Structure 1
Protein backbone atom coordinates (compact mmCIF):
# COMPACT_ATOMS: atom_id res chain seq x y z
CA UNK A 1 0.00 0.00 0.00
CA UNK A 2 1.33 3.41 -0.98
CA UNK A 3 1.17 6.03 1.76
CA UNK A 4 -0.28 9.39 0.71
CA UNK A 5 2.08 12.34 0.56
CA UNK A 6 -0.40 14.64 2.25
CA UNK A 7 -3.40 14.26 4.56
CA UNK A 8 -5.82 16.73 6.04
CA UNK A 9 -8.79 16.22 8.31
CA UNK A 10 -11.41 18.34 10.04
CA UNK A 11 -10.88 18.93 13.74
CA UNK A 12 -14.08 18.17 15.60
CA UNK A 13 -12.87 19.59 18.89
CA UNK A 14 -9.86 21.40 20.22
CA UNK A 15 -6.71 19.43 20.95
CA UNK A 16 -6.48 18.14 24.46
CA UNK A 17 -3.58 19.81 26.24
CA UNK A 18 -1.44 18.47 29.03
CA UNK A 19 0.73 20.56 31.30
CA UNK A 20 4.31 19.74 32.26
CA UNK A 21 6.57 21.15 34.90
CA UNK A 22 10.21 20.32 35.58
CA UNK A 23 12.54 21.83 38.15
CA UNK A 24 16.08 21.05 36.92
CA UNK A 25 19.66 22.25 37.30
CA UNK A 26 21.76 23.05 34.22
CA UNK A 27 25.52 22.64 34.49
CA UNK A 28 27.12 25.22 32.19
CA UNK A 29 30.77 24.15 32.11
CA UNK A 30 32.85 26.04 29.51
CA UNK A 31 36.22 25.37 31.23
CA UNK A 32 38.25 22.44 32.51
CA UNK A 33 38.47 18.76 31.71
CA UNK A 34 34.70 18.19 31.98
CA UNK A 35 33.65 21.09 29.78
CA UNK A 36 30.36 20.63 27.97
CA UNK A 37 30.67 23.28 25.28
CA UNK A 38 33.25 24.20 22.68
CA UNK A 39 33.83 27.12 20.33
CA UNK A 40 33.52 26.17 16.66
CA UNK A 41 33.66 29.62 15.02
CA UNK A 42 35.76 32.56 16.20
CA UNK A 43 35.67 35.39 13.64
CA UNK A 44 37.75 37.66 15.94
CA UNK A 45 35.39 40.59 15.40
CA UNK A 46 34.55 43.40 17.83
CA UNK A 47 32.69 42.09 20.89
CA UNK A 48 33.21 38.50 19.62
CA UNK A 49 30.35 39.13 17.19
CA UNK A 50 29.60 35.94 15.24
CA UNK A 51 31.34 33.58 17.64
CA UNK A 52 29.57 30.22 17.64
CA UNK A 53 29.71 27.62 20.39
CA UNK A 54 28.25 24.10 20.39
CA UNK A 55 26.88 22.85 23.72
CA UNK A 56 25.91 19.59 25.40
CA UNK A 57 24.93 20.93 28.82
CA UNK A 58 23.79 18.43 31.45
CA UNK A 59 20.49 18.85 33.31
CA UNK A 60 20.16 17.25 36.75
CA UNK A 61 17.20 16.57 39.04
CA UNK A 62 18.99 18.07 42.04
CA UNK A 63 21.81 20.31 43.11
CA UNK A 64 23.85 17.96 45.30
CA UNK A 65 26.38 15.18 44.72
CA UNK A 66 23.66 12.50 44.38
CA UNK A 67 21.84 14.35 41.59
CA UNK A 68 20.83 12.28 38.57
CA UNK A 69 21.21 13.32 34.91
CA UNK A 70 17.70 13.79 33.51
CA UNK A 71 18.46 15.36 30.14
CA UNK A 72 21.00 17.18 27.99
CA UNK A 73 20.65 20.58 26.32
CA UNK A 74 22.26 20.03 22.93
CA UNK A 75 22.64 22.77 20.34
CA UNK A 76 24.44 26.03 19.83
CA UNK A 77 24.74 29.58 20.97
CA UNK A 78 25.88 32.48 18.82
CA UNK A 79 27.16 35.90 19.89
CA UNK A 80 24.59 37.97 18.00
CA UNK A 81 25.12 41.44 19.50
CA UNK A 82 27.39 43.87 17.68
CA UNK A 83 27.42 46.44 20.48
CA UNK A 84 26.87 44.23 23.54
CA UNK A 85 27.43 40.62 24.57
CA UNK A 86 24.12 39.11 23.52
CA UNK A 87 24.16 35.36 22.98
CA UNK A 88 21.36 33.65 21.04
CA UNK A 89 20.71 30.03 22.09
CA UNK A 90 18.99 27.31 20.08
CA UNK A 91 18.99 23.76 21.38
CA UNK A 92 17.05 20.59 22.11
CA UNK A 93 16.55 19.30 25.61
CA UNK A 94 16.86 15.56 25.00
CA UNK A 95 15.62 13.45 27.90
CA UNK A 96 17.67 10.47 29.11
CA UNK A 97 15.58 9.55 32.16
CA UNK A 98 13.63 6.30 31.63
CA UNK A 99 10.19 7.96 31.93
CA UNK A 100 10.76 10.41 29.05
CA UNK A 101 13.76 8.81 27.27
CA UNK A 102 14.13 10.09 23.71
CA UNK A 103 11.54 12.84 24.08
CA UNK A 104 12.70 16.40 23.52
CA UNK A 105 11.80 20.04 23.95
CA UNK A 106 12.97 22.57 21.35
CA UNK A 107 14.25 25.72 23.02
CA UNK A 108 15.47 29.15 21.94
CA UNK A 109 16.31 32.49 23.51
CA UNK A 110 19.03 34.77 24.86
CA UNK A 111 21.94 34.22 27.29
CA UNK A 112 22.46 31.30 29.63
CA UNK A 113 22.66 32.99 33.03
CA UNK A 114 19.36 34.85 33.45
CA UNK A 115 15.89 35.50 32.09
CA UNK A 116 13.76 33.18 29.99
CA UNK A 117 13.94 30.79 27.07
CA UNK A 118 10.97 29.92 24.87
CA UNK A 119 9.85 26.33 24.32
CA UNK A 120 8.82 26.28 20.66
CA UNK A 121 8.18 22.58 20.06
CA UNK A 122 8.59 19.06 21.30
CA UNK A 123 8.78 15.41 20.30
CA UNK A 124 8.06 12.00 21.81
CA UNK A 125 6.02 12.48 24.99
CA UNK A 126 5.76 16.25 24.37
CA UNK A 127 4.41 16.88 20.84
CA UNK A 128 3.42 20.44 19.97
CA UNK A 129 4.99 21.74 23.20
CA UNK A 130 4.85 25.46 23.89
CA UNK A 131 6.03 27.16 27.02
CA UNK A 132 8.78 28.94 28.85
CA UNK A 133 11.88 28.13 30.87
CA UNK A 134 12.60 30.54 33.70
CA UNK A 135 16.29 30.46 34.55
CA UNK A 136 18.35 31.97 37.29
CA UNK A 137 21.94 31.84 38.39
CA UNK A 138 22.48 29.48 41.33
CA UNK A 139 26.19 28.84 41.85
CA UNK A 140 29.55 29.92 40.41
CA UNK A 141 32.21 27.20 40.12
CA UNK A 142 35.81 27.36 38.92
CA UNK A 143 34.89 25.62 35.63
CA UNK A 144 31.50 27.28 35.04
CA UNK A 145 28.19 27.74 36.79
CA UNK A 146 24.94 26.07 37.72
CA UNK A 147 21.62 27.48 36.61
CA UNK A 148 18.26 26.66 38.21
CA UNK A 149 15.55 26.01 35.62
CA UNK A 150 11.79 26.06 36.04
CA UNK A 151 10.34 24.51 32.88
CA UNK A 152 6.64 25.07 32.30
CA UNK A 153 4.88 24.02 29.10
CA UNK A 154 1.73 22.70 27.53
CA UNK A 155 1.71 19.91 24.95
CA UNK A 156 -0.90 18.02 22.94
CA UNK A 157 -0.65 14.23 22.75
CA UNK A 158 -1.42 13.08 19.22
CA UNK A 159 -3.20 9.90 18.22
CA UNK A 160 -1.50 7.72 15.66
CA UNK A 161 -3.01 5.14 13.37
CA UNK A 162 -6.29 5.36 11.48
CA UNK A 163 -8.09 8.67 11.33
CA UNK A 164 -10.95 10.23 9.47
CA UNK A 165 -8.71 11.91 6.86
CA UNK A 166 -8.72 12.88 3.25
CA UNK A 167 -5.70 11.60 1.33
CA UNK A 168 -3.99 13.38 -1.53
CA UNK A 169 -1.20 12.11 -3.75
CA UNK A 170 -1.99 8.40 -3.50
Structure 2
Protein backbone atom coordinates (compact mmCIF):
# COMPACT_ATOMS: atom_id res chain seq x y z
CA UNK A 1 0.00 0.00 0.00
CA UNK A 2 2.81 2.43 0.92
CA UNK A 3 4.49 1.60 -2.40
CA UNK A 4 1.28 2.48 -4.31
CA UNK A 5 0.96 5.77 -2.47
CA UNK A 6 4.63 6.58 -3.15
CA UNK A 7 4.17 5.79 -6.88
CA UNK A 8 1.04 7.95 -6.95
CA UNK A 9 2.86 10.85 -5.28
CA UNK A 10 5.86 10.53 -7.64
CA UNK A 11 3.54 10.33 -10.68
CA UNK A 12 1.59 13.37 -9.52
CA UNK A 13 4.80 15.35 -8.90
CA UNK A 14 6.19 14.40 -12.34
CA UNK A 15 2.91 15.31 -14.04
CA UNK A 16 2.66 18.63 -12.17
CA UNK A 17 6.30 19.57 -12.83
CA UNK A 18 5.91 18.64 -16.53
CA UNK A 19 2.86 20.92 -16.78
CA UNK A 20 4.70 23.70 -14.93
CA UNK A 21 7.83 23.56 -17.09
CA UNK A 22 5.86 23.08 -20.32
CA UNK A 23 3.65 26.06 -19.53
CA UNK A 24 6.66 28.23 -18.73
CA UNK A 25 8.66 27.23 -21.82
CA UNK A 26 5.94 28.56 -24.16
CA UNK A 27 5.56 32.04 -22.70
CA UNK A 28 3.46 34.41 -24.79
CA UNK A 29 5.09 37.59 -23.48
CA UNK A 30 7.74 38.86 -21.16
CA UNK A 31 9.01 42.19 -19.90
CA UNK A 32 12.21 43.63 -21.33
CA UNK A 33 14.50 46.49 -20.54
CA UNK A 34 15.19 48.81 -23.50
CA UNK A 35 18.92 48.06 -23.17
CA UNK A 36 18.22 44.39 -23.99
CA UNK A 37 17.24 45.50 -27.50
CA UNK A 38 20.20 47.85 -27.82
CA UNK A 39 18.00 50.94 -27.45
CA UNK A 40 19.85 54.06 -26.46
CA UNK A 41 18.55 57.40 -25.31
CA UNK A 42 15.43 58.60 -27.12
CA UNK A 43 15.94 61.37 -29.71
CA UNK A 44 13.67 63.99 -31.26
CA UNK A 45 14.13 64.53 -35.01
CA UNK A 46 12.64 67.12 -37.35
CA UNK A 47 12.18 66.14 -41.00
CA UNK A 48 11.19 68.61 -43.71
CA UNK A 49 10.13 67.49 -47.20
CA UNK A 50 7.59 68.03 -49.97
CA UNK A 51 4.94 65.47 -50.92
CA UNK A 52 3.97 65.39 -54.64
CA UNK A 53 0.48 63.99 -55.24
CA UNK A 54 0.25 63.51 -59.00
CA UNK A 55 -3.20 62.44 -60.20
CA UNK A 56 -2.88 63.54 -63.85
CA UNK A 57 -0.83 62.56 -66.89
CA UNK A 58 0.52 59.27 -68.14
CA UNK A 59 2.36 58.41 -64.92
CA UNK A 60 0.19 59.35 -61.94
CA UNK A 61 1.46 58.55 -58.47
CA UNK A 62 -2.04 58.67 -56.96
CA UNK A 63 -4.72 56.39 -58.47
CA UNK A 64 -8.40 56.07 -57.62
CA UNK A 65 -8.98 52.43 -56.66
CA UNK A 66 -12.51 52.50 -55.19
CA UNK A 67 -15.56 54.65 -54.73
CA UNK A 68 -19.12 54.42 -53.48
CA UNK A 69 -22.21 54.85 -55.64
CA UNK A 70 -22.64 58.33 -54.20
CA UNK A 71 -18.99 59.48 -54.51
CA UNK A 72 -19.39 61.38 -57.79
CA UNK A 73 -22.50 63.23 -56.56
CA UNK A 74 -21.13 63.96 -53.08
CA UNK A 75 -19.78 67.48 -52.44
CA UNK A 76 -16.93 65.89 -50.46
CA UNK A 77 -16.26 62.86 -52.73
CA UNK A 78 -17.29 60.70 -49.77
CA UNK A 79 -16.25 57.08 -50.27
CA UNK A 80 -13.34 57.80 -52.61
CA UNK A 81 -10.22 55.66 -52.03
CA UNK A 82 -6.89 56.59 -53.64
CA UNK A 83 -3.73 54.44 -53.56
CA UNK A 84 -0.48 56.41 -53.61
CA UNK A 85 3.22 56.05 -54.23
CA UNK A 86 4.07 59.77 -54.10
CA UNK A 87 7.62 61.14 -54.26
CA UNK A 88 8.99 63.03 -51.27
CA UNK A 89 11.53 65.70 -52.22
CA UNK A 90 13.87 68.15 -50.48
CA UNK A 91 12.35 71.14 -52.24
CA UNK A 92 8.96 72.03 -53.73
CA UNK A 93 9.94 71.25 -57.33
CA UNK A 94 9.52 67.65 -58.49
CA UNK A 95 13.01 67.92 -59.99
CA UNK A 96 14.57 68.45 -56.55
CA UNK A 97 16.30 65.57 -54.78
CA UNK A 98 14.00 62.66 -53.93
CA UNK A 99 14.39 61.64 -50.27
CA UNK A 100 11.68 58.99 -50.14
CA UNK A 101 8.14 57.94 -51.07
CA UNK A 102 4.76 58.23 -49.41
CA UNK A 103 3.12 54.84 -49.92
CA UNK A 104 -0.36 53.88 -48.81
CA UNK A 105 -3.78 55.37 -49.32
CA UNK A 106 -6.08 58.22 -48.54
CA UNK A 107 -9.83 58.20 -48.61
CA UNK A 108 -12.60 60.75 -48.31
CA UNK A 109 -14.12 59.97 -44.93
CA UNK A 110 -16.39 62.94 -44.24
CA UNK A 111 -19.89 63.72 -45.47
CA UNK A 112 -19.80 67.39 -44.45
CA UNK A 113 -16.31 68.67 -45.32
CA UNK A 114 -13.28 67.42 -47.20
CA UNK A 115 -11.59 65.28 -44.57
CA UNK A 116 -9.27 62.52 -45.68
CA UNK A 117 -8.30 59.42 -43.76
CA UNK A 118 -4.54 59.10 -44.31
CA UNK A 119 -2.95 55.65 -43.99
CA UNK A 120 0.62 55.96 -45.22
CA UNK A 121 4.20 54.96 -44.77
CA UNK A 122 6.94 57.46 -45.48
CA UNK A 123 9.71 55.30 -46.90
CA UNK A 124 13.03 57.16 -46.79
CA UNK A 125 15.70 56.49 -49.42
CA UNK A 126 18.37 59.08 -48.62
CA UNK A 127 20.73 60.09 -45.85
CA UNK A 128 20.94 58.52 -42.43
CA UNK A 129 17.26 57.47 -42.54
CA UNK A 130 17.67 55.48 -45.80
CA UNK A 131 15.66 52.26 -45.41
CA UNK A 132 13.67 53.56 -42.42
CA UNK A 133 9.94 54.26 -42.43
CA UNK A 134 7.42 56.34 -40.53
CA UNK A 135 3.73 55.39 -40.34
CA UNK A 136 0.95 57.98 -40.43
CA UNK A 137 -2.64 57.28 -39.49
CA UNK A 138 -4.94 60.24 -39.11
CA UNK A 139 -7.30 62.87 -40.47
CA UNK A 140 -6.25 65.44 -43.06
CA UNK A 141 -8.66 68.40 -43.29
CA UNK A 142 -7.24 69.43 -46.68
CA UNK A 143 -8.68 72.97 -46.77
CA UNK A 144 -7.18 73.95 -43.41
CA UNK A 145 -4.00 76.02 -43.62
CA UNK A 146 -2.12 73.59 -41.40
CA UNK A 147 -3.14 69.98 -40.84
CA UNK A 148 -1.71 67.80 -38.10
CA UNK A 149 -1.59 64.02 -38.33
CA UNK A 150 -0.13 61.53 -35.84
CA UNK A 151 2.98 59.46 -36.45
CA UNK A 152 2.02 56.09 -34.98
CA UNK A 153 5.15 54.04 -35.55
CA UNK A 154 8.12 53.30 -37.73
CA UNK A 155 10.86 50.88 -38.62
CA UNK A 156 14.67 50.62 -38.53
CA UNK A 157 15.98 53.94 -37.15
CA UNK A 158 12.38 54.93 -36.39
CA UNK A 159 11.49 51.90 -34.25
CA UNK A 160 9.11 52.90 -31.47
CA UNK A 161 8.47 56.20 -33.28
CA UNK A 162 5.78 58.59 -32.14
CA UNK A 163 5.11 62.18 -33.04
CA UNK A 164 3.20 64.28 -35.52
CA UNK A 165 3.32 65.59 -39.07
CA UNK A 166 2.22 69.09 -40.02
CA UNK A 167 1.09 69.50 -43.63
CA UNK A 168 0.65 72.76 -45.57
CA UNK A 169 -0.47 72.92 -49.18
CA UNK A 170 2.36 74.50 -51.16
CA UNK A 171 0.55 74.42 -54.51
CA UNK A 172 -2.60 72.96 -56.03
CA UNK A 173 -3.32 72.86 -59.76
CA UNK A 174 -7.12 73.15 -59.95
CA UNK A 175 -7.08 72.00 -63.60
CA UNK A 176 -5.16 68.74 -63.07
CA UNK A 177 -5.71 68.12 -59.34
CA UNK A 178 -1.96 67.70 -58.80
CA UNK A 179 -0.75 69.01 -55.44
CA UNK A 180 2.51 69.71 -53.65
CA UNK A 181 2.30 69.60 -49.86
CA UNK A 182 5.01 70.76 -47.48
CA UNK A 183 5.57 68.50 -44.47
CA UNK A 184 7.28 69.18 -41.16
CA UNK A 185 7.54 65.99 -39.15
CA UNK A 186 8.55 65.88 -35.50
CA UNK A 187 9.25 62.40 -34.22
CA UNK A 188 10.62 60.79 -31.07
CA UNK A 189 12.61 57.61 -31.75
CA UNK A 190 15.64 55.67 -30.52
**TM-score higher than 0.5:** yes
Q: Distance in 2 between matches of 1:107 and 1:58?
A: 16
The runs of 5 or more residues in structure 2 that have no matched partner are: 1-24
> 1:121–1:49: structure 2 CA closer, same or farther, 3 Å change rule?
same
The runs of 5 or more residues in structure 1 that have no matched partner are: 157-170
> 1:71–1:135: structure 2 CA closer, same or farther, 3 Å change rule?
same
Shift of 1:86: 1.8
1:37 aligns with 2:62: yes
Report how many residues are paired.
154
1:71-82 superposed matches below 5 A: 71-82=100-111
Q: Match of 1:115?
A: 147
Q: Match of 1:148?
A: 182
Q: Match of 2:17?
A: none
More helix by share: 2
1:94 aligns with 2:123: yes
More strand by share: 1
Larger RCO (CA within 8 A; separation ≥ 6) = 1
Shift of 1:105: 0.2
> 1:55–1:44: structure 2 CA closer, same or farther, 3 Å change rule?
same
Q: Distance in 1 between matches of 2:54 and 2:148?
A: 19
Q: Match of 2:4?
A: none
Q: Match of 1:20?
A: 45
Q: What is the root-mean-square deviation of aligned Cα atoms in Å?
A: 2.6
Checking the alignment, whether the CA contact within 8 Å between 2:92 and 2:170 is kept in structure 1 is: no
